[in-house]
Amino acid sequence: MSSSEGALLILPEGAQRHDLRNHHLFLEAATQHGADWYRFAEERVGQIIANDSLYLITGLYKTTSWSLAAFEKTAGTAEYPAQFRVSQTGGNNIAAIYTWDTTRALDWRVGPIEKYEIPNQAVFIRGFKVALRTGMFGTRRISVKADAPSTRPNPARSVGAVLGNSWLRYVFGGLSRGRRAKSHGSGTQDEVTASPALNDARNEIQNSGALAVSEHVVVQRIPEASQVSTVLAISRVH
Amino acid sequence: MPKSPQDVYARHLLSPRGYPLWMPEPSHQLLVYRRDGLRIGDVGVVIPEDGCFDVFFNICLPQDHPFHRATGVPDNFKPIELSDIDIRTAVNVENPGRIIANSSVKSVRTVERPADISSRCVIRSPRRCRLTFLTTTLQDSIIWTGIRVYLVF
């Protein structure tokens, strides 16, 4: 981690913390239905998303107003004065009350623009990262892990990559569960059928130069066309 | 490739508190989400470019909830009903005036408008940088009249 950049969150009115007490029902739901969730995201919400990007929120820090900043070093500077100010007028528009004064390059935000009495601003989120993985021989697996959400658009770069953040073990004590999908499974079964809509989406992307970056995402998720129309049987792996 | 503010922000403030969002405000247009914000059970993705959380559905809300009306719910959806006792809430876990910063913020500050001062607080940030600031009372909550933050590398 470089010391030439940094970040800052100011909570002028404090914050509340909300946590799910029992994570097991959520873990179970994500493990069993993760594949349905991915399909829903693509077909109904219409988002082409990386296959490790779905996130299930189990806890948050919420507040009524905030000010935050991120900065990078500019050449030659040793000290970086930036002033956060609060004025006493502005009503419910926090953006009119809080401000930052600085002459240097500082990315900052204040908010919200529309303030409610209820703390509804989520400054931190915690939860489960729900990933859809394709392994050797076309096996598909849902893995559910207490982890930070993935923000990388290209799954090829994130496969196998784990953020070195220790807060997850601290918060969840290592809750994790996997569920595998095999093309020739046995035992009690759920069925996952990939739909024609995914075919269409993939064709559309392959035919469009503008969406070339996303092509990899879809091809990663469904590596072979034959699997798209195959009924996959899922069995639990312990 | 230039880093987005969310990249820098999240990398430095990721902590036991969780993953920090550059856009903490609710992204959804629906009134019930705009008022209450993100909630436990939300399923969605972080949008890397602007650092907001885009909610697709919520596993605790019923299938016929207004939030689910627009796009529906996934196949095999069975809502997990939560009661108040299932959620642990700590109301004042961060005191008013809290600064959460990474270690490159070495910070000292001066109050701009001494006339507004009604109390004086000293806090320590998680990384031991000492911050002194002065507060005033506005609409029953303590907020700052002014703070000068020096970001030292």
Please give the DSSP secondary-structure letter assigned to residue B8: H
User: Which tokens go with A85?
Assistant: 């100010």
Over range B91-102, report the average pLDDT: 82
Residue predicted with more confidence, A63 or A174:
A63
SS3 call for B15 = strand
Over range A189-197, report the average pLDDT: 34
Q: What is the pLDDT of residue B82?
A: 93
pLDDT digits (tens, 9 = 90+) for A102-152: 766 778 899 898 888 899 999 999 999 999 987 777 777 899 999 999 876
Q: With a CB-CB cutoff of 8 Å, which residues 15-34 of chain B face chain A?
A: 15-26, 34
Over range A71-80, report the average pLDDT: 60
Mean residue pLDDT across chain B: 73
pLDDT digits (tens, 9 = 90+) for A225-234: 223 222 222 2
Which among B5, B72, B93 has CB closest to A107?
A: B5
Residue B99 at interface with chain A, using a CB cutoff of 8 Å = yes
Q: What is the pLDDT of residue A219?
A: 22
**Residue B135 clears pLDDT 70, i.e. is over it:** no
pTM over 0.80: no
Residue B128 at interface with chain A, using a CB cutoff of 8 Å = no
Interface test with B, best of A71, A104, A108 (most B CBs within 10 A): A71
Sign of CA dihedral B98, B92, A145, B46: negative
**Residue A8 clears pLDDT 90, i.e. is over it:** no
**Residue B35 clears pLDDT 50, i.e. is over it:** yes
Q: How far apart are CA A189 and CA B89, in angstroms?
A: 38
ipTM entry: 0.77
Choice among A25-29, A115-119, A173-177 with the minimum mean pLDDT: A173-177
Q: A with B: how many residue pairs have Cβ under 8 Å apart?
A: 302
**Residue B23 clears pLDDT 50, i.e. is over it:** yes
Residue predicted with more confidence, A174 or A161:
A174
Burial of A210 (0-12, 13-18, 19+ CB in 10 A): exposed
Shortest Cα distance from B65 to chain A (angstroms)? 16
Q: What is the pLDDT of residue B105?
A: 66
Q: Decide if B43 and A55 are in contact by the 8 Å CB cutoff.
A: yes
CB A60 within 8 A of CB A171: no
Q: Decide if B150 and A79 are in contact by the 8 Å CB cutoff.
A: yes
pLDDT interval class at B131 (50, 70, 90) = very low
